[in-house]
Structure 1
Amino acid sequence: MATSITSIGVDTLTAGSQASSALVFEPFDLPPSNQRQLGAPHPAGTTIPLALRPSHSGVENIDLDNVIAAVKGLQSQDKILTQQLALHGTLLFRGLPIHNADDFSRFAHAFGFKPHEIIGIVVDRPVLAPNIAPANTAPKEVLIHSHNESPQVPHAPEYIFLYGHKAPTKGGETPMSSSLELFRRVQEELPEFIAELTEKGLLSQITYRKEAQYPGGSTLKEAFGKNIVDGDDLATRRSKIEAQIARYGRGIHTTWEWLDNDEGIVVTHRLPVIRTQPGTQLPTLFTSLAIFYTRKNVTEQLYGDGTPIPEKYLKRLVEITEEIRVLHRWEQGDVLVYDNIIAQHGRQPWEGEQTDRVVMASLFDGDEVPGAYGNADWAQVVQAFEG
C-alpha cells in the first residue's frame, strides 16, 4: 500500500498547446486563517486550499469563454486540475467572471466530470441551472460540521463545486480539511477506534417520510420517487421506490422497512467509514460522524454490528476535525472545488438575514470510486447503476 502522495509542482497553470497570450491560472497566498499547510501523509508544503486566479498577463479582457477554454486545456493535459485536487483536496478559484447559476454551471462542466445523480437525497435541492442547486438551506443559525458529501448512503459524488453568489458580512465561512490527514491523526491517537471501524464498518439508518422532517430536508418522493406519477396506487408507489433503492447495488448490505400508515420508510446501509484514495490507496476517513454527534436528525449511525459508537471517540473526532480545518472566508464570485474522497466541507452560522449568504453547489462523479480498506464484502462502494 502506498504511503505518500506525489507532489505536482505548481508555478502557473496553463495549457501548453495554447498561445502565449492564452489565459493562465496563477497560485496566490491567502491569510493564515484561510489557508494552512497539510500534515502527513501530504507532502511537506502542500496547502489547503490551492488558491488560483486568472492572470491578466497577455489577456486584455478575461471572459468566461477564456476561463472555460483554459480549464478544458488543462484537463486535456493528463487532467492537471484533477491531479491538483488529488493532492490538495480543495482548489479555490477567485476573480472569475461568474455571476449567476448558468455561468457557474458552464464553469463546473468544463472540468469534464459526469454529473452526479443523488439517490436518497436528505436535503431539498431545487434545480437552478444544469446540475446546479442551492447548497444546504438550513437556517443560518445551524452549524454544519465538517463532513464528506453523502457518506450516509452508498452512492456519493467524487467532486463538489461550491459557488459564492452572495457573501454575508460576518460569518458563513466554509470549512475545509483533509480526510487523509484526519485518518492519520485518529489512527495515531485512537488506534482502537480505527480497528473497530475497520472490522465493523457503519450502520447508517435513514428515515424518509412523506413530509420534510426539518427545515431544508427532503421528502420521501424527492429521495426515491422520481418515477412516481399521479394516480399510482400504494403498491405501485412502493415498488417504484424500492426499485430506486435497489439501484445502489448493495444487495444484503442495504435493507429497508416500511413505516405504518404509509408514513415513510427506514433504509439501512452497512458502509465503510474508511475508504482509500484511488491511485495512492491511502486510507481516508470518509464520514459525517461529527454532524450526527453534534446535531441529531433523521439519520442514526452505529457500528456495523448494531452497537453504539462510544461517545469518547466521537468527541475526539470532532476536536481533531476542528484542529486541522481552515475556514474559507467567502468573496463574491469565489468557487471552491473539493475532491470529496479526501476533503471535507461544512458551514458556519452567520449574522444578518438568511438571504445574506447564497452558495450554490454542483456534484459530479469521477472515473473511480474510493477503494476498499480491508477485505469485507461491505467495504467496497460502487456507483449506482442507471435507472
Structure 2
Amino acid sequence: MGFVEGKIVEEKVFGGKVFPKTLLPGNTCDLIEMVRGDRQWLSDLLQQHGAILFRGFGISSAEDFAHVVEAFEWDDMPYMGATTRVKVTDRIYTANEAPLDQLINFHHEMSMFKEFPSKIFFFCLEPSPEGGETSILPSHIIVEKMEEIMPDFVAKLSQVGFIIRLSTATDADSGDKVISKTWKELLKTDNQMEAEKRALEKITCNSVEFHADGSAEFIFGPMDPIRELGGRRVWFKPMLGYTSNERDIQISFGDGSPCPPEAIEAYKKILDESCVDLSWQKGDVLLVDNLSSQHARRPGKPPRVILVSVCK
C-alpha cells in the first residue's frame, strides 16, 4: 500500500480541491522510495491541489530532506533575493535568517526575477513552540476575490498596470531584518554601473536608483501583477512588501495616480481570510507549486528550523 490520504484541521477547499493535499504513509514510511515509485502521480496531484503536505514519514535531517527533493528529479535552482539564506547541504538552505518575531508577507518565490522556481519544498526540522506557521494561499483566489470586491481597480490595473518600487537594505541596517541585503550584496558588486547592468539582466525591473544611505530602489513597471500560469490567472507580483515596513515597497498605478487604500485593505483581507496557516510538526515536508500558490511566515518563537529547496 502506498500513500494514504490524510486531513489536517487547517485545510480549506477551493473549487472542490482540498488545500493542501495531505499524504500519510501506508505500510511503509520510506518517502524517498515512495516518491520514486509515484513521481508522475505526485506531480499531477501538485498541479491539481497547489500544495502537498507529507506528514509522518520520519524525515529527520537535512540530508534526508535532500534525498526526498532529489527523488522528484527536478532540476535545482540557485536562490537569489534580498533576504538571507544559509546553505546547509547540497540543494538545502535555511528558509530565512530574519528574527522569528517578524512577519514575512505573502509572495511567490523570486517573482521579481526573470527566472523563478516552479516548485519550492519546505521541511520542518524543529517547529516553533508558539506561532511560526508557514501560510499558503492559492493565488488565483486572490484574483477572483479582487475582481469580485474591487472590479474597477482590477480593470484599471489591466489597462495601465502598476509601478512597484522595492528598496534594499541600507549600509547601516543590521542583519536582523527580513530585507537584509544591500544592493552590493545582492548583485555581488560595489560598482553602481555594473550593479545596474546585472539588475537589468536578472531582475524584471526597468531601472535602479542608488541612494546616499547605501540602499537602492528597483523600479518595476508599469506592469500587470496578474499573470496566466499553469492555465490559471494568478496574482504573481506582490502588492505588499515582504514585511510590514512601509519603506520596503511603494506602489502606484502606471499612470502615476496612487492606488486607493481600500484596494490595499481588500487585498490584505483576502490574504488573511483565504490562507491556510500550517502549524508545523517535526518531520513535515511541504511541497508548494510556486506558479499557483503564495507563501508567507507568521511570527513565532525560537527554536524554529525550517529548511527549503527550490526547483526550476
TM-score between both structures, scaled by the size of structure 1:
0.72
Q: Deviations over 1:272-303 (max 9, x none)?
A: 3101122x2x2111243244684324333333
1:273 counterpart residue number:
225
Displacement of 1:240 after TM fit?
4.2
Aligned pairs for 1:240-255 (under 5 A) are 240-248=194-202, 254-255=206-207
Code of the aligned partner of 1:273: P
1:30 counterpart residue number:
8
Moved more, 282-291 or 172-181: 282-291
Instruction: Check whether the contact 1:27–1:52 (CA below 8 A) recurs between aligned residues.
Output: yes
Asked if residue 182 in structure 1 is aligned to residue 136 in structure 2, the reply is no
Code of the aligned partner of 1:221: K
Q: Which SS does the other structure have where 1:289 is aligned?
A: coil
Q: How many residue pairs get matched?
A: 308
Gaps of 5+ in 1: 1-22, 229-233, 366-387
Considering fraction of residues, name the structure with more strand: 2
Asked if residue 67 in structure 1 is aligned to residue 34 in structure 2, the reply is no
| Structure ID, larger Rg | 1
2:305 counterpart residue number:
358
2:274 counterpart residue number:
324
Query: In structure 2, how many angstroms separate the alpha carbons of the residues matched to 1:315 and 1:292?
Result: 16
Instruction: Check whether the contact 2:135–2:275 (CA below 8 A) recurs between aligned residues.
Output: yes
Say what the alpha-carbon RMSD is for the aligned residues: 2.5
Displacement of 1:52 after TM fit?
0.6
Code of the aligned partner of 1:35: E
Asked if residue 85 in structure 1 is aligned to residue 52 in structure 2, the reply is no
Q: Relative to structure 1, is the Cα distance of residues 325 and 208 closer, same or farther in structure 2, using a 3 angstrom cutoff?
A: closer
Query: In structure 1, how many angstroms separate the alpha carbons of the residues matched to 2:268 and 2:74?
Result: 31
Higher relative contact order (CA 8 A, sep 6+): 2
Code of the aligned partner of 1:288: P
Q: Which SS does the other structure have where 1:128 is aligned?
A: strand
Q: Relative to structure 1, is the Cα distance of residues 329 and 199 closer, same or farther in structure 2, using a 3 angstrom cutoff?
A: same
Displacement of 1:305 after TM fit?
3.5
Q: Percent identity at matched positions?
A: 25
Query: In structure 2, how many angstroms separate the alpha carbons of the residues matched to 1:37 and 1:123?
Result: 32
Instruction: Check whether the contact 1:171–1:349 (CA below 8 A) recurs between aligned residues.
Output: yes
Query: In structure 1, how many angstroms separate the alpha carbons of the residues matched to 2:74 and 2:256?
Result: 36
2:115 counterpart residue number:
155
Query: In structure 2, how many angstroms separate the alpha carbons of the residues matched to 1:72 and 1:249?
Result: 35
Code of the aligned partner of 1:26: V
Q: Relative to structure 1, is the Cα distance of residues 70 and 99 closer, same or farther in structure 2, using a 3 angstrom cutoff?
A: same
Instruction: Check whether the contact 1:50–1:90 (CA below 8 A) recurs between aligned residues.
Output: yes
Q: Relative to structure 1, is the Cα distance of residues 243 and 306 closer, same or farther in structure 2, using a 3 angstrom cutoff?
A: same
Of residues 46, 49, 55 in structure 2, which corresponds to 1:94? 55
Query: In structure 1, how many angstroms separate the alpha carbons of the residues matched to 2:138 and 2:195?
Result: 35
Asked if residue 51 in structure 1 is aligned to residue 22 in structure 2, the reply is yes
Aligned pairs for 1:293-304 (under 5 A) are 294-304=244-254
Query: In structure 1, how many angstroms separate the alpha carbons of the residues matched to 2:215 and 2:90?
Result: 30
2:182 counterpart residue number:
219
Q: Which SS does the other structure have where 1:139 is aligned?
A: coil
2:77 counterpart residue number:
116
Query: In structure 2, how many angstroms separate the alpha carbons of the residues matched to 1:109 and 1:212?
Result: 40
Displacement of 1:187 after TM fit?
0.8
Q: Deviations over 1:224-256 (max 9, x none)?
A: 11xx5xxxxx6xx44543443232385xx5222
Instruction: Check whether the contact 2:119–2:289 (CA below 8 A) recurs between aligned residues.
Output: yes
Gaps of 5+ in 2: none
Query: In structure 1, how many angstroms separate the alpha carbons of the residues matched to 2:203 and 2:97?
Result: 30
1:315 counterpart residue number:
265
Query: In structure 1, how many angstroms separate the alpha carbons of the residues matched to 2:8 and 2:248?
Result: 37
Aligned pairs for 1:128-147 (under 5 A) are 128-147=88-107
Code of the aligned partner of 2:37: G
Q: Relative to structure 1, is the Cα distance of residues 209 and 176 closer, same or farther in structure 2, using a 3 angstrom cutoff?
A: closer
Displacement of 1:209 after TM fit?
5.0
Q: Deviations over 1:21-49 (max 9, x none)?
A: xx722211112xx11111xxx3x2x1001
